Structure 1
Amino acid sequence: MSSEHIKKRILIAGDVMLDRYWFGEVNRISPEAPVPVVRVERREERLGGAANVALNAVALDVDVGLMGVVGDDEPAHSIKRLLENAGITSYLSCDTQISTIIKLRVIGRQQQLVRIDFEERPTELVLKDKLNRFNTLLSTCDVVIFSDYAKGSLVNVTTMIEAARNAGKLVLVDPKGSDFTRYAGATLLTPNKSELKQVIGEWYSEEELTAKAQKLRQELRLEALLLTRSEEGMTLYTENDIVNVPAMAREVFDVSGAGDTVIATLAVMMANGMPMKDAVVIANRAGGIVVGKLGTATVSREELFPGEAVSN
């Protein structure tokens, strides 16, 4: 087999969770409290968090390995089954002291009525094990994604980024929290507006935003910072350039998981040698497609590149 046909490999580490959806009819208000009564008619389970990033990446025809922490419980078995069905290689660590993270969404009349989260932080011993496994897997991948949902799986992310960069890997991070110094040295960070505001504060003009974003990029030794801006599109900040990409969403149905789609698409395009600026345009297109779908969803190559020849 010639090298051009060998699939690129992406390693994803982060907070793995199970997304549960309960769909039902709403025909009355509860007599116990002023809330709708949902009569559940259908249930769905989907991969969430870092696992949804993995699902988005594998949908674009790359090999994907997923690292994260789950409990020793029924939701963990569901996640492993879904990963296997999708063709994602599971490197999940089992922490018997915790329950697997679940986000339960109740949907009535095509609207999310409530979300219930079940989560516990992983224990130190399991995280140390995970770090050792990460170091052994590094040589097998082309790009590393860190999908941080601030649930505790990435407490060693600074060490992991350093190891990945020393191994010559591209490192993409979907960040969380008010301290981005833990992501120093990554290739690219992809915060949304609210995440960036937590770190650099408010801005009152494009000029002020550019100055603050570039200062942060330099301080963290990043090659690039990609700000995702919902209806305003995206802005890529690099040492030599600022690229604005307008939003492409035809109709916003559900924004959950859009950031997962964006970073997965970026990683796949860059793993296949596409320049970062071009990859951002494609990732923006993918984000615009996925917000038109209900819940955490993926985008196919056919949707991204309609009419593309099969024998590329």
Structure 2
Amino acid sequence: MMPYPAEAVSRVKILVAGDIMLDRYWFGEVERISPEAPVPIVKVMRREDRLGGAANVARNIVALGAQASLLGVIGADEAGARVRDLARESGINSCLVADEDTPTTLKMRVLGRQQQLLRLDFEEGPSESCLTKLDVQARQLMADHDMLVLSDYAKGALANVESLIAAAREAGVPVLVDPKGASYRRYRGATLITPNRIEMQEAVGRWRDEHDLEQRAQALRADLDLEALLVTRSEQGMTLFSGVGREHVDAHAHEVFDVSGAGDTVLATLAVMRAAGLEWFDAMGWANRAGGIVVGKLGTSTVTAAELAGETT
């Protein structure tokens, strides 16, 4: 595999828009069961906050040595302030819209001895006025970036995704989308979408074999006017469908510890490598390697340029 293209990556500027969330982890020890109910008592020893959703995509882009701007909605609350701080500490250019009426999406996980015991989700959709501000800001930012990445977690920030894709096409900016839901018509006109295996099945139905999958994938690609479609398939690797045909790479995971946020890392790496000038197949190879590294880490994490470069030595 070619050496890591660090110089080309350093010139890449990517705009990430989508659902922003804060991932909060409480780590502790479990030594007894509660007398009040048959549940473990966790004595919290350490707390950690990490950027999640679209913010984790931006964090991964910066970790790879590229430049990232983050556009999305946060609440005017403690979690939103924490997102701003973490983004600044990570070197992300924040272009955040604050919603006075809606809290920041927060996922709180309680872990005992590295085992997740409970997850609490706090989320509400953004207001229409905030979505309008996001749309206006996206149009202003696009011309200064090499690529637009849309991270859809179905939390509402991409309710007007069709408008964002149309604006990017008008500006000549490629669009990569991590989709959500069973209907992909709203992503029509994007450059590439990256459904996982389950999401692809929801979109096109269950396939009988690889030939059937290729037919369904190419039909979807043509229907949505996409340049390419990448299906991430966990232990089965990744399969790319484009005008060239079907191209596949096997999984590169050493040890699977935690898959949360792995899709963010794959999307970020694919975007960075493509914006750096690599062909889709080569970009997929790097994304596959990055995904294999990140699933060996706990929680939403990043893969650095040094880690990826080390994989080729």
Q: Give TM-score scaled by structure 1 length.
A: 0.96
Q: How does 1:188-267 map to 2 (within 5 A)?
A: 188-267=192-271
Which of 7, 11, 26 is residue 11 of structure 2 equivalent to?
A: 7
Decide whether the 8 Å contact of 1:302 with 1:308 is kept in 2: no
Quick one: distance in 2 between partners of 1:249 and 1:237?
Answer: 22
In structure 2, the CA distance between the partners of 1:262 and 1:247, relative to structure 1 (3 Å rule), is same
RMSD (Å) for aligned C-alpha atoms: 1.5
Quick one: distance in 2 between partners of 1:229 and 1:256?
Answer: 15
Please list the CA deviations of residues 11-33 of structure 1 after superposition, one character each: whole Å capped at 9, or x if unmatched. 00000010000000011122222
Residue 112 of structure 1 aligns with which residue? 116
Residue 295 of structure 2 aligns with which residue? 291
Residue 181 of structure 1 aligns with which residue? 185
Which of 90, 101, 106 is residue 94 of structure 2 equivalent to?
A: 90
Quick one: distance in 2 between partners of 1:138 and 1:51?
Answer: 17
Quick one: distance in 2 between partners of 1:13 and 1:172?
Answer: 11
In structure 2, the CA distance between the partners of 1:204 and 1:308, relative to structure 1 (3 Å rule), is closer
Amino acid at match of 1:258: A
Tell me the SS of whatever aligns to 2:220: helix
Q: How does 1:63-74 map to 2 (within 5 A)?
A: 63-74=67-78
Q: CA deviation at 1:34?
A: 2.1
Q: Say how many residue pairs are matched.
A: 307
**Unmatched runs of 5 consecutive residues or more in structure 1:** none
Please list the CA deviations of residues 70-121 of structure 1 after superposition, one character each: whole Å capped at 9, or x if unmatched. 1100111100000111110110101101000000011111111111100010
Quick one: distance in 1 between partners of 2:52 and 2:10?
Answer: 28
Tell me the SS of whatever aligns to 2:96: strand
In structure 2, the CA distance between the partners of 1:79 and 1:5, relative to structure 1 (3 Å rule), is closer
Q: CA deviation at 1:39?
A: 1.0
Tell me the SS of whatever aligns to 2:116: strand
Q: Which consecutive segments of 4 or more residues in structure 1 shift more than 3 A?
A: 3-6
**Unmatched runs of 5 consecutive residues or more in structure 2:** 1-6
Quick one: distance in 1 between partners of 2:209 and 2:287?
Answer: 25
Amino acid at match of 2:82: S
Residue 3 of structure 2 aligns with which residue? none
Which of 126, 130, 134 is residue 130 of structure 1 equivalent to?
A: 134
Please list the CA deviations of residues 167-224 of structure 1 after superposition, one character each: whole Å capped at 9, or x if unmatched. 1111100000111000011111000011111111112211211111111111001111
Whether 1:55 aligns to 2:59 is yes
Which of 106, 110, 117 is residue 102 of structure 1 equivalent to?
A: 106
Moved more, 273-282 or 28-37: 28-37
Please list the CA deviations of residues 30-74 of structure 1 after superposition, one character each: whole Å capped at 9, or x if unmatched. 222222111111000000000000000000111110000011001
Please list the CA deviations of residues 257-287 of structure 1 after superposition, one character each: whole Å capped at 9, or x if unmatched. 0000000001111111011110000000000
